[in-house]
Structure 1
Amino acid sequence: METLTPTPRRSLLFHQISVLLLTFSAYAAFHASRKPPSIVKSVLGPESPSSGDGDGGGWPPFSGPHGPHRLGELDLAFLSSYSLGMYLAGHVADRVDLRRFLAVGMLLSGATTAAFGLAFWFNIHRLAFFLAVQMVSGIVQSIGWPCVVAVVGNWFEKSKRGLVMGVWNSNTSVGNILGSVIASSVLEYGWGWSFVLPGLVIAVVGILVWAFLVANPRDLGFDWPAVEIEMADTENEEDHLNGEEEIGLIGSAKVESAEAIGFLEAWRLPGVAPYSFCLFFSKLVAYTFLYWLPFYIRHNAVAGQLLSHKAAGILSIVFDIGGVFGGISAGFISDRIGARAITSVLFLFLSIPTLFFYRTYGSLSMNHNIGLMFLSGYFVNGPYSLITTAVAADLGTQDTIKGNSRALATVTAIIDGTGSVGAALGPLLTGYILTRGWNSVFFMLIVSTSFAIMFLINIAKSEVVSKMSERK
C-alpha cells in the first residue's frame, strides 16, 4: 500500500490552530444569533410581568398579562425544533461534506435570525409568524454543533481533548457575550436591529467556513490519527488487517468502517444514555439562564435600583464569563484526573448552593450580584461544556466502535439533542412558573441539577473504583 509522505509537525500544528479558530468563530456566531430573544424579552413583553397587569407597553402579541407565557412558547418553538433537528443533523453530518453542511447551516441561520427582526419594520404582530420563524431557525441552527465537534474531534487525540475542547468550548459563552453586547447596544434604535446584526455576523462567518475550513486531516494528506485506539489492543488488531503493518487508528482508511453507525446502535453505546439524560437536566438549567437572565435582572432590583434594558443585557454577560472559566476548568481537571463523570458531578453539586445564594443575596449589592452570577455561570456551564465536547467526542470514538470514524457526529447529536429537549423545556416552564415568583423558578433549577447528578452517580462510582484500583 502506498504510504503518504510525512508532513512537518509545524504544518500540522498550523492547521490544527486554523481549525480551532474557524470552528470557534463558527459556533460563537451561532450562539450570538441565539442571544437576541433573551435581550429583547423585556421590550417585547409587559413591563411588570410578575404582577401580570400588562402595563408598560410591549409588542403584541407578547404584551399583556399572557406575555411571559407566549415568550416561553417562543423559546419552546425554537428549542424543540432545534432538539429534533439535532438528531437528524448528526445523522446527516456523518454522511456528507462537513464543511459545506456547516456553512449552509450558518447562512440559513443568518437569514432566519434577520427575518425575525424584520417584523419590527413590517409591523408584524401575528404570533404564528414568530413561531414559524423560530421553528425554522431551530432546525437550521441544529446543524452547527454536530459538525464543529466532529471536525475538532477529527483533529485532536483523546488525551488532550479535555483541556483543548474546554478552552475551545468557550465559544458558546463568547458567542453569548458577543450577542448580548451587539443586541443591547442597538436596542435603543429598535429591537429589530438586535436580530439583523447578529444574523449578518453568522452569515459572514459562514462564508469564511465555506472558503477555508478543512474538516479532516486526511483531506490534506496527513497520515495522523484523528482518534486514538487503546494500544493494548494493537496486536489483536494486526491479526485482522491481512498482514498489513500499519495499525488501525481511526484516521486510517484501512480500518475505517464503510458505513456510518446507526441511530439506535449509537444509543446503546456505553455511557451515551446516562450522559444524554444528565445533559437534559444540565442544559435545562443553562438555557433557562441563557433565555431569561436579562429579564430576571431587569425586573429584580440590585441594591434597591432597577436596571435599564440595556444595562441588564450587558450585566448578564457576567454569567457567560463565568461559563468560560468553568468550561476550561472542567476540561483541565478531567484531563488531569482522567475522570469526566467525577468532574461533572463535582461541578453540578457545587452549583446547587451557588444558585441558592445568587437568588438570596444577589440583590444586596452590585458586587454580590456580579460575584454570585459569575460563580453560577462557572458551576452551571462547567459540566455542560465538558459533556457536549470532550465526553461526546470520547463516547463517539470509544473502543466499542473502534475502526468506525463515522460515529462521532451521530453520538454528539444524540447527547446534545437530548440535552436540547431539556433546553426547550426549561425556558418554557420558566414562563409559566414565573407567575408564582422567582423563588419557584430557582427551586425548579435546583431540582433539575439534582436529577442531573443522579444520572452520573453510577459512572462516577465506577471511576472512583477504577482510580483506587490503579493506586493499589
Structure 2
Amino acid sequence: MQTTRPNPIPESPAATSPPVSLQTRMVLLSYLAYFFYYFTRKHLGVVTPAMVESGFSDTTIGWVQTAYGVCYATGQFLSGALGDRLGPRIALTAGMILSGIATLAFGIFPFMGVLAVCLSINGLFQSTGWPNACKVVSQWVGFRHRGRVMGVWMTCYIFGSMVANLVAGYVLGKFGWREVFLVTGIAVIVVGIAQGLFLINRPEDRGHRLERRASNASGASAKGGFMLMIRQPSILLLGVCYTGLKFVRYTFFAWSPYYLASKVGMANDSAAYVSNGFEVGGILGLAAGGWVGDRYFADNRVRLALVALLGMIAAVLLYRVISADGGIWGNAAGLAAIGFFLYIADSIVSGTAAQDIGGAESTASAAGIINGIGSTAQLFAGIVPIWLKNTWGWDAVFVSFIVLAVFSSLAVLPVARQRSLSKA
C-alpha cells in the first residue's frame, strides 16, 4: 500500500477522461465507506438501555460519549491533512479497521476500562471518514457535475445511520448487547479492507485525466486553502451555527433509544427501530431541500437553512407534547418531523454552502473547518443531555434543543442576509 504523498504527476498528452464505470465504482466505494462508518458510531446509543439494565451507569456512558466527541472534533482538523498527505485510500482503510478493532475489543472484553478507552479513541478513527470520503468524490467527479452527485451521495450518512440502527436493534433483540459490538466491528473491518484493496486515490493514478478548474492545476497547497477559508467570516459563522445542529443530531443519535425505552416505555429493540423515524424524516428533508433550494434559493441556500431551523423549533415543540402518549407511530412521526427540518439545514450548512463559498479548489478546507467547529458540540452531546435529564427531567433536554436552534438561527442570519453566496 502506497504511503508517500500523492504529488501531482505530469499529464500525458494521451491521458483520457476516466471511464464512467470507473468513476461510478470509486464514488460507490466512498459511499459504502461512510455508510458503514455509522455501524461503529451508532452502536453505543442503541445498546445503552440494555447496558444500563446490566449494571453500567448512564452517567459513565455519557462521559464516554463526551470523550468520543473530544477525539472526533480533534480528529476532524487532523484527518483531512492525513488524507492529503497519504491519500484517502490509506486514511479510510486505517480509520475503518481501527474503528472496527476498538469496537470488537469492548465486545470481547466488556469492562469499564475497555469501554472508556476503546470507545473514546474510536472518535479519532471515526473522524477519518467524512473529509476523506468527500475527497474521493472531489477527485473522481468533475466540478461541473459534483453538485448533482453530492446531492445523492450525501444520503450515505442518513441511510448508514438508519441501517446501523436496524442491524444493532436486531442483534440486540436476538442475541444481546455484547454481540452488537462484535457484529458491527467485524462488518466495518471487512469494508475497510475492501477500501484498501479496491479504492484508487485519483484518476491520474491509472493514467486518466479529469477536467479541473485552473486553480486546481496551479499547485495551490492545501495549507493555502485552509488559511484562506479560516479567514472567511461566513465560514466561521456557519461553523458556529453547525455546533447547535450537531448537538441536536448527536443527542438523538446517542440518547433517543434510551429516551423511548425509559420515558415512553418501549421495548429496547422497538426503541431502536422507532428512533429511525429521525433518519426517515432526514431522507425526505434532503430530497425536498435539494429541490426547493435549487428552485427558489439558488443564489443563497443558507436562507433555506434558516427557514429549516425555524421549522425544527416548531417540530421540537410539537414532539414535546405528543411523545409521552404518542405510541410507536406518534413518536416515529414526531422524530421524522424534527429530522426533516434538521437535515435540510445540516446538509446546506456542512455541504452545499461550503462548496458555494470554497469553490472546487477550497471545498475540502471549508467543509473541514465548518465540521471541525461544529464537532465541538459533540463534547457536550454525550454528558450534557443525561445531566439535564437527571437534574430536571427529559423535558429540559428538549428545551435545550429549542435554545440551540435559536442560537444557530442567529449565528447564520448574517450569512442568510447576503444577496448571494460567492466563492471566496
Q: Same fold (TM over 0.5)?
A: yes
Match of 1:241 in 2: none
Please give the per-residue CA displacement for 1:132-176, whole angstroms capped at 9, x wherever unaligned. Answer: 112221111111111011221233345544443232111112111
Shift of 1:262: 6.8
Aligned residue identity for 1:333: V
Q: Report the TM-score, using the length of structure 2 for normalisation.
A: 0.89
Unaligned stretches of 5+ in structure 1? 46-56, 229-247, 399-404, 467-472
Aligned residue identity for 2:20: L
Correspondences of 1:427-446 after superposition (within 5 Å): 427-435=382-390, 436-446=392-402
Please state whether the residue corresponding to 2:177 is helix, strand or coil.
coil
Q: 1:376 aligns with which of 334, 338, 342?
A: 338
Aligned residue identity for 1:90: G
Shift of 1:364: 2.8
| 2:309–2:341 Cα contact (<8 Å) kept | yes
- In structure 2, relative to structure 1, the CA distance for the partners of 1:129 and 1:465 (3 Å cut) is closer
Q: 1:424 aligns with which of 355, 364, 379?
A: 379
For the pair 1:307 / 2:307, whether they are aligned, the reply is no
Question: How high is the sequence identity, in percent, across the aligned residues?
Answer: 27
Match of 2:292 in 1: 333
Correspondences of 1:250-265 after superposition (within 5 Å): 250=216, 252=217, 255-258=218-221, 260-261=223-224, 263-265=226-228
Aligned residue identity for 1:200: I
Give the Cα–Cα distance (whole angstroms) in 2 for the partners of residues 371 and 258 of structure 1: 47
Q: 1:151 aligns with which of 115, 136, 156?
A: 136
Kindly name which structure, 1 or 2, has the bigger radius of gyration based on alpha carbons. Answer: 1
Match of 1:232 in 2: none
Q: 1:74 aligns with which of 64, 74, 82?
A: 64
Shift of 1:369: 2.1
Aligned residue identity for 1:297: L
Give the Cα–Cα distance (whole angstroms) in 2 for the partners of residues 199 and 208 of structure 1: 15
Please state whether the residue corresponding to 1:4 is helix, strand or coil.
coil
Match of 2:204 in 1: 218
Give the Cα–Cα distance (whole angstroms) in 2 for the partners of residues 153 and 15 of structure 1: 14
Unaligned stretches of 5+ in structure 2? 1-9
Please give the per-residue CA displacement for 1:56-93, whole angstroms capped at 9, x wherever unaligned. Answer: x432xx2xxxx332221111011111101111112222
Match of 1:7 in 2: 16
Aligned residue identity for 1:432: W
Give the Cα–Cα distance (whole angstroms) in 2 for the partners of residues 44 and 187 of structure 1: 11
After superposing on structure 2, the runs of 4+ consecutive aligned residues of structure 1 that deviate more than 6 Å are: none
Give the Cα–Cα distance (whole angstroms) in 2 for the partners of residues 152 and 44 of structure 1: 38
- In structure 2, relative to structure 1, the CA distance for the partners of 1:88 and 1:2 (3 Å cut) is closer
For the pair 1:44 / 2:3, whether they are aligned, the reply is no
Report the RMSD for the aligned CA atoms in angstroms: 2.4
Give the Cα–Cα distance (whole angstroms) in 2 for the partners of residues 211 and 281 of structure 1: 38
- In structure 2, relative to structure 1, the CA distance for the partners of 1:437 and 1:108 (3 Å cut) is same
Please state whether the residue corresponding to 2:294 is helix, strand or coil.
helix
- In structure 2, relative to structure 1, the CA distance for the partners of 1:352 and 1:258 (3 Å cut) is closer
Give the Cα–Cα distance (whole angstroms) in 1 for the partners of residues 281 and 272 of structure 2: 16
- In structure 2, relative to structure 1, the CA distance for the partners of 1:258 and 1:175 (3 Å cut) is closer
Aligned residue identity for 2:21: F
Please give the per-residue CA displacement for 1:366-407, whole angstroms capped at 9, x wherever unaligned. Answer: 332222221111111222123333333444436xxxxxx4x5
Correspondences of 1:75-224 after superposition (within 5 Å): 75-120=65-110, 124=111, 126=112, 128-158=113-143, 160-188=145-173, 189-224=175-210
Aligned residue identity for 1:417: G
Aligned residue identity for 2:333: G
- In structure 2, relative to structure 1, the CA distance for the partners of 1:343 and 1:58 (3 Å cut) is same
Aligned residue identity for 1:138: G
- In structure 2, relative to structure 1, the CA distance for the partners of 1:260 and 1:17 (3 Å cut) is same
Match of 1:318 in 2: 277
Give the Cα–Cα distance (whole angstroms) in 2 for the partners of residues 342 and 143 of structure 1: 30
Q: How many residues align?
A: 408
Please state whether the residue corresponding to 2:377 is helix, strand or coil.
helix
Question: Larger % of helix: which?
Answer: 2
Q: Report the TM-score, using the length of structure 1 for normalisation.
A: 0.80
- In structure 2, relative to structure 1, the CA distance for the partners of 1:427 and 1:465 (3 Å cut) is closer
Aligned residue identity for 1:114: L
Please state whether the residue corresponding to 1:261 is helix, strand or coil.
helix
| 2:69–2:382 Cα contact (<8 Å) kept | no
Please state whether the residue corresponding to 2:417 is helix, strand or coil.
helix
| 2:131–2:368 Cα contact (<8 Å) kept | yes
- In structure 2, relative to structure 1, the CA distance for the partners of 1:85 and 1:325 (3 Å cut) is same
Give the Cα–Cα distance (whole angstroms) in 2 for the partners of residues 158 and 387 of structure 1: 19
Please state whether the residue corresponding to 1:110 is helix, strand or coil.
helix
| 1:149–1:412 Cα contact (<8 Å) kept | no
| 1:181–1:314 Cα contact (<8 Å) kept | yes
Give the Cα–Cα distance (whole angstroms) in 1 for the partners of residues 176 and 326 of structure 2: 32
Match of 2:258 in 1: 295
Give the Cα–Cα distance (whole angstroms) in 1 for the partners of residues 239 and 21 of structure 2: 34
Match of 1:449 in 2: 405
